[in-house]
A and B are shown apart, each in its own frame.
Chain A
């Protein structure tokens, strides 16, 4: 259990971090960055796995199962799409090496 106020501090610090780390992103990377952050919230998979592990009734197992499928899809799809986009980024200098 996380203490209420401590949680608020975590929320606040994470929010500032999120804003700061992308503060100077060039437009060229907006789509890959959106896609990359889309991948990162695929961490929801971990929450769904734990929920499913604790599930006992058939209904709870069903809901947890759906949660795990969707979370895993978010993580896997998000990764593949972002990686493919970024794979193509190279500067004109790279080609001459």
Chain B
């Protein structure tokens, strides 16, 4: 008994230490200089907390526990090591779904245990927390799985059918009712099963109609939800580390979700319950897109002093980040100023472009946020837009009938000359025409991003070598 108490104290102290390491770790991850140390620190927190848990579980079901950890850790670790940088967003979605599922499983175990004959009924607060945590965790799990499937290209269309919102609402209401039944009426296993089926189904239904362009916000939201689910289950089980870590993530994630939704100028409710393209067709655009070939584009670059590169998801698809950096280095070698301008929601996750550029070796001090870079477009000779579309569409400022009206954009339109690298004439995610592409100072370089960058490098070398 003595030994048991001592171990419990040791475990509780370790959980406190882990919570401190998590908070400091997240704080360090919010600055580029200390970010690397931050994740390592949080990692130690996790190792300490896990080891401490072995001390208090005292060998009960040890085989199952060790086996479960091995099955959970080994494949995800190996997969996470080798997955391509461009696929990171869906990996985050997948791992987040696993966390939600784990919280839901804890909830299921608790509820079934409370329902056993001979068990003393727990206080209502515990039941409420267990039920709410299980509901949120289930929604986060299946929702994240759908988000993963969409980002991974396994499900490339939105599923929209008549009466969808009504059905979603009914399923949600039914899940809430089942939850209330569990809390106030009866913890029968059948009710528990119905409750989980409804909660899991709601996660799927809620995510199906949301388009790919909105996935960043959705993943961030589910990340916050998993945090909350973990905190609530932590309360139900009486583990403070889960409460603190889960709640910190829940709050930080909610805040991050708001930042993202704000960058798109759409309230979160709008992301969840409607889609781009539903708000009007926008004005039709007069004029034509003016093409340019790589040789002419290279001479424009050769004569420029300041170049701003605007990457978008198209760069990720074309895996063009390395070639783009090579092109930038070639330009910088001849004394030109090169900067990268990143829209907050470019790509599939906020900061997605930064990660890709960092992978290619672009130093982070060459990469500028929207607010910092926007005044600089006026003084820039050439802006290169590669694979970005809606985030540079000036209609967001000028055309009140456009569905993206009001969304903050990169002011590429102010640059003296704009080169747009694009595979074809199609529209972006929002499915609307881009007025920028029809401007007098805009030239379209129709090519795959990687090939375009490659031929620009070759042409630049020819110009410098006195060729042509």
Residues of A at the B interface (CB closer than 8 Å) are: 1-2, 4, 7, 10-11, 14-19, 21-55, 59-61, 63-95
Q: A18 near B250 (CB under 8 angstroms)?
A: yes
Q: B253 near A37 (CB under 8 angstroms)?
A: yes
Measured in the bound complex, the distance between the Cα atoms of B227 and A17 in whole Å is: 14
**What 19 additional pairs, Cβ within 8 angstroms, besides A37-B223, A66-B101?**
A1-B238, A10-B240, A23-B30, A32-B35, A36-B29, A39-B39, A41-B99, A47-B233, A48-B106, A49-B54, A53-B65, A60-B112, A61-B61, A72-B69, A76-B73, A82-B39, A89-B36, A89-B364, A90-B358
Contact of B26 among A36, A61, A66 (CB under 8 A): A36
Measured in the bound complex, the distance between the Cα atoms of B419 and A15 in whole Å is: 45
Q: A36 near B25 (CB under 8 angstroms)?
A: yes
Q: A42 near B99 (CB under 8 angstroms)?
A: yes
Once A17-B23, A50-B56 are accepted as A-B contacts, the answer to whether A74 and B113 lie under 8 Å apart by CB is: no
Measured in the bound complex, the distance between the Cα atoms of B246 and A43 in whole Å is: 8
Chain A residue nearest in CB terms to B76: A77
Q: A28 near B354 (CB under 8 angstroms)?
A: yes
Chain B residue nearest in CB terms to A82: B39
Chain A residues near B239 (CB-CB < 8 A): 46-47, 50
Measured in the bound complex, the distance between the Cα atoms of B46 and A36 in whole Å is: 12
Measured in the bound complex, the distance between the Cα atoms of B347 and A30 in whole Å is: 12
Q: A4 near B260 (CB under 8 angstroms)?
A: no
Query: Distance in Å from the Cβ of B35 to the closest Cβ of chain A?
Result: 5
Please report which residues of chain B, range 1-30, place their CB below 8 angstroms from some CB of chain A when the two chains form the complex.
15, 18, 22-23, 25-27, 29-30
Q: Is B120 an interface residue (CB 8 A)?
A: no
Once A44-B242, A82-B39, A84-B80 are accepted as A-B contacts, the answer to whether A72 and B364 lie under 8 Å apart by CB is: no
Query: Distance in Å from the Cβ of A67 to the closest Cβ of chain B?
Result: 3
Query: Distance in Å from the Cβ of B350 to the closest Cβ of chain A?
Result: 4
Once A32-B35, A95-B363 are accepted as A-B contacts, the answer to whether A66 and B105 lie under 8 Å apart by CB is: yes
Chain B residues near A15 (CB-CB < 8 A): 247-248, 250-251
Chain A residue nearest in CB terms to B35: A86
Q: A80 near B80 (CB under 8 angstroms)?
A: yes
Once A18-B247, A59-B112 are accepted as A-B contacts, the answer to whether A43 and B22 lie under 8 Å apart by CB is: yes
Q: B223 near A71 (CB under 8 angstroms)?
A: no
Measured in the bound complex, the distance between the Cα atoms of B92 and A67 in whole Å is: 18
Chain B residues near A31 (CB-CB < 8 A): 88-89, 92, 349-352, 354-355
Q: B91 near A77 (CB under 8 angstroms)?
A: yes
Chain A residues near B219 (CB-CB < 8 A): 34
Contact of B109 among A4, A60, A91 (CB under 8 A): A60
Chain B residue nearest in CB terms to A43: B245
Chain B residues near A84 (CB-CB < 8 A): 80-81, 85
Q: B240 near A19 (CB under 8 angstroms)?
A: no
Chain A residues near B23 (CB-CB < 8 A): 17, 21
Main SS at interface, chain B: helix
Q: Is B71 an interface residue (CB 8 A)?
A: yes
Residues of B at the A interface (CB closer than 8 Å) are: 15, 18, 22-23, 25-27, 29-33, 35-36, 38-40, 42-43, 46, 49-50, 53-54, 56-58, 60-61, 64-65, 67-77, 79-81, 83, 85, 88-89, 91-92, 94-96, 98-99, 101-103, 105-106, 108-110, 112-113, 125, 219-220, 223, 226-227, 230-231, 233-235, 237-256, 259-260, 342, 344, 349-352, 354-355, 358-359, 361, 363-367, 369-370
Measured in the bound complex, the distance between the Cα atoms of B319 and A69 in whole Å is: 33
Measured in the bound complex, the distance between the Cα atoms of B42 and A2 in whole Å is: 25
Chain B residues near A67 (CB-CB < 8 A): 68, 101-102, 105-106, 109
Contact of A81 among B40, B95, B247, B350 (CB under 8 A): B95
Contact of B64 among A42, A64, A74, A93 (CB under 8 A): A64
Measured in the bound complex, the distance between the Cα atoms of B31 and A45 in whole Å is: 27
Query: Distance in Å from the Cβ of B425 to the closest Cβ of chain A?
Result: 30
Q: A79 near B43 (CB under 8 angstroms)?
A: yes
Measured in the bound complex, the distance between the Cα atoms of B242 and A27 in whole Å is: 28
Chain A residues near B255 (CB-CB < 8 A): 18-19, 22-23
Measured in the bound complex, the distance between the Cα atoms of B220 and A23 in whole Å is: 16
Query: Distance in Å from the Cβ of B15 to the closest Cβ of chain A?
Result: 8
Closest 4 CB pairs of A and B: A72-B72, A18-B251, A68-B68, A67-B105
Once A68-B64, A92-B363 are accepted as A-B contacts, the answer to whether A50 and B76 lie under 8 Å apart by CB is: no
Contact of B113 among A24, A60, A86, A92 (CB under 8 A): A60
Contact of A51 among B58, B70, B110 (CB under 8 A): B110
Contact of B238 among A2, A28, A91 (CB under 8 A): A2
Interface CB pairs A-B, < 8 A, 23 = A2-B240, A7-B235, A19-B254, A21-B30, A25-B31, A28-B32, A28-B367, A30-B256, A32-B39, A38-B95, A38-B226, A41-B227, A42-B95, A43-B18, A44-B99, A64-B68, A66-B105, A70-B105, A72-B72, A77-B77, A86-B39, A90-B363, A91-B33
